[in-house]
Structure 1
Amino acid sequence: MRKIITFLFLIPLLTLTACGQSNKKTSKKETNTMENVINKPGNPYYSNTDTKKLNVSNAEWQKILSPDLYAVAREADTERAFTGTMWKSETKGTYYCATCGNKLFKSDQKFVSSCGWPSFFEQENKNSIWFKPDNSYGMQRTEALCGRCDSHLGHLFDDGPEPTGKRYCMNAISLDFVPDAIATNSGNSETIVLGGGCFWCVEAVYENLDGVTKVVSGYAGGSVENPSYEEVCTGRTGAAEVIEITYDKTKTNLDEIFKVFFTVHDPTTLNRQGADVGTQYRSVIFYKNENEKKAAQDLIKDLNKEVFDNKIVTTLEPLKKFYKAEEYHQGYYENNKNKPYCQMVIQPKIEKFEKVFKDRLKK
């Protein structure tokens, strides 16, 4: 470890500009790995294997679901087209109802449509989705609803590809997705939640580390249940911008995850990273168990001795719950590479990571 510590901070840390940009909220979903392991402890009706019909009132759903998901699922709202990356994603995996966990589609039933919403030509089985006429807004359409919880998913059209000629036009917020690669390697998968300032920056770095299978931007800590981006930005919720990293233990480990973390942000500045100021930008590790806590403590101790002149102020906090951020935050750098913030702040961080960890990049 001493060898790695000696070169962790060879390149000066960047001065950040604020990442507080406002966009329309879309979805917050908490997805883990494998079949039936999407973790939504606040939703007692959620299951990826139980197909028993649910009879839950909207009043009850409103207590459980985030406001943006409730608006679409229970009030038949429609999210903005071209939101996030799900509509054009070709990753192999399974799509579930974000409200109840019902299996809806496999990726081999999906096609990339120019409409800007996730589109499928066939449903998982005849009972996974049901339909009814929708004559709202002066149009005649066919509404698609979850076969288990009756939540609004989107609409069915007759302009899809062969062999069915159908287009299931779905709202991305109504869907949870589990990649096949993660499901296959589930026995070797582990997660860790970290916060190092703007989550756009940290997410973009870890997407390039070999062994990391998934990175999700979100929120953790604080006292507000399922906070929105706007609420977190006020600094009054106590929540921090964080990322949830899923990694393959056969390809990387917690020690390396932490070393990348302490390389790509400044852990010596209290509640700030450059121009991003507030407790929501604090340097923090949310640990799930004593092993994660001790690994972080040991590395911090060594870094304080060998590397930093100023004391590390990274907090170690028990993870109570991780909330996935709105969909437009996911893959932000990948979707907005030409924006000034991405070019001037995120790209140099990625270049620093690639230089220090050049032998650990995804091929």
Structure 2
Amino acid sequence: MRKIITFLFLIPLLTLTACGQSNKKISKKDTSAMENVISKPENPYYSNTDTKKLNVSNAEWKKVLSPDLYAVAREADTERAFTGTMWKDETKGTYYCAACGYKLFKSNQKFTSSCGWPSFFEQENKESITFKDDNSYGMRRIEANCGRCDSHLGHLFDDGPEPTGKRYCMNAISLDFVPDGVAINSANLETIVLGGGCFWCVEAVYQNLEGVKSVYSGYAGGMVEDPSYEQVCTGRTGAAEVVEITYDKTKTNLDEIFQVFFTVHDPTTLNRQGADSGTQYRSVIFYKNENEKKAAQNLIAELNEKVFANKIVTTLEPLKKFYKAEEYHQGYYENNKNKPYCQMVIQPKIEKFEKVFKDRLKKN
């Protein structure tokens, strides 16, 4: 340990009402687990798991993309029809944006079109692709762009098959394809699911820890399968607001993950963090195996003896399934820094984390 024993201190818990007060209606989220990881070390913006929108200049993209991909993705060029075999390939798998790694299509949304470009009748989710009018070359078309990095993918037409009648006509060079069952460079990745009150707060902290690859807000525990945010907010589902942390075990470890957890929230208040109260805000570690459970038990015993005057009430519960929360919860702090809750509740937690773990912050 053992900077947590030396430096751990509690800040007064703030009294704002937290994320539990929104009544925004959002469609159900994608609950599929991370399926594949593609390694592109030359491209720091590439991720198959990060859904946060990118704002990268074309000058920067030109440094990390191949000339052919840059011409299509950033200058809206079009590759020749019938290039390669992707347009007629029927292999089962997943298609990603070749520029940023964002998931775009599954193979069951694809069909073989006579146009000679990879064609799909439906996108993976409503955020995966965005559209704008394209009046270039004297034509009226709808341009299709990646929902994460805004790179050009192709065009959308109304001559596709049922059930949508749409044809997403894509440039093959704009797509990365990974067959089902293939996982690349994932041997060093581990996941852990933790709940420490409002998931916006916990997510924002772990996104800054060196070695953490991705953090998703979601729900775990309880009796309801794939609950919505509104259901969890009632406190009657038994589910807790949690984050799923994927980390590189060669760069951080479970002990450090737990140290951060017990530093940035109060594990001694039962079913409460600040103004947020209810079992959905409980302090909880969802363990997948006995190693995770034992590590948590050992740290809790040490903290009870050396740090906390009040007994830790963090529960240890076996993980049955993690359900990813609705998209507007993901990266909430990054997307809403100027809102009062972010400034008055989340920001102090981040500052505390940065003070205690100043040598373990991600390098920008």
Match of 2:110 in 1: 128
The reply on whether 1:28 has 2:30 as its aligned counterpart is yes
CA deviations on 1:189-227 (whole Å, 9 max, x unpaired) are 000000000000000000000000000000000000100
For structure 1, which runs of at least 5 residues remain unmatched after alignment? Answer: 37-83, 93-100, 111-117, 132-142
Alpha-carbon shift at residue 171 of structure 1 (Å): 7.8
Alignment of 1:271-350 (within 5 A): 271-350=271-350
Instruction: Give the aligned partner of residue 134 of structure 2.
Output: 159
Gaps of at least 5 residues in structure 2 are 39-49, 65-91, 114-118, 149-174
Report what 2:265 is aligned to.
265
Aligned partner of 1:168 in structure 2 is: 144
The alignment partner of 2:238 has SS state of: coil
Offset of residue 335 of structure 1: 0.1
Whole-Å Cα distance in 2 between the matches of residues 339 and 156 of structure 1?
Answer: 29
The residue type equivalent to 2:23 in the other structure is S
Distance 1:127 1:226 in 2: 23
SS of the aligned residue for 1:202 comes to: helix
Q: What one-letter code is carried by the residue in structure 2 that aligns with 1:107?
A: A
Does the 8 A contact of 1:192 with 1:244 survive in 2? yes
Change (3 A) 1:244 1:125: closer
Distance of 2:55 and 2:336 partners within structure 1: 16
SS at match of 1:251: coil
Mapped contact 1:119–1:168 kept (Cα < 8 A): no
- For 2:214 and 2:280, the matched residues in 1 are separated by 22
Are the counterparts in 1 of residues 216 and 243 from structure 2 also a CA contact under 8 Å? yes
CA contact (8 A) 1:220 1:319 kept: yes
For 1:288-315, what per-residue CA distance to the aligned partner results, in whole angstroms no more than 9, with x for missing partners? 0000000000000000000011000000
CA contact (8 A) 1:146 1:152 kept: no
Q: Which residue in the other structure is 1:106 paired with? A: 97
Q: Which amino acid aligns with 1:32?
A: M
- What amino acid does structure 1 have at the position aligned with 2:203? E
Distance 1:313 1:155 in 2: 45
Residue in 2 that maps onto 1:239: 239
Cα 1:161/1:281, change in 2 over 3 Å:
farther
Give the superposed CA RMSD. 4.0
Contact kept in structure 1, 2:93 and 2:106, CA below 8 Å: no
The number of residue pairs the alignment matches comes to 277
Aligned to 2:121: 145
Q: TM-score with structure 2 length normalisation?
A: 0.66
Greater Rg, structure 1 or structure 2?
A: 2
Shift of 1:157: 7.1
Checking the alignment, whether the CA contact within 8 Å between 1:229 and 1:325 is kept in structure 2 is yes
SS in 2 for 1:193: strand
Going from structure 1 to structure 2, the CA distance change for 1:89 and 1:219 (only over 3 Å counts) comes to farther
1:12 alignment counterpart: 11
Instruction: Decide whether the 8 Å contact of 2:110 with 2:120 is kept in 1.
Output: no
1:28-47 alignment, distance < 5 Å: 28-32=30-34, 34=36
- Residues 360 and 87 (structure 1), Cα distance of their counterparts in 2 relative to 1, 3 Å cut: closer
Conserved? CA contact 1:6–1:306, under 8 Å: no
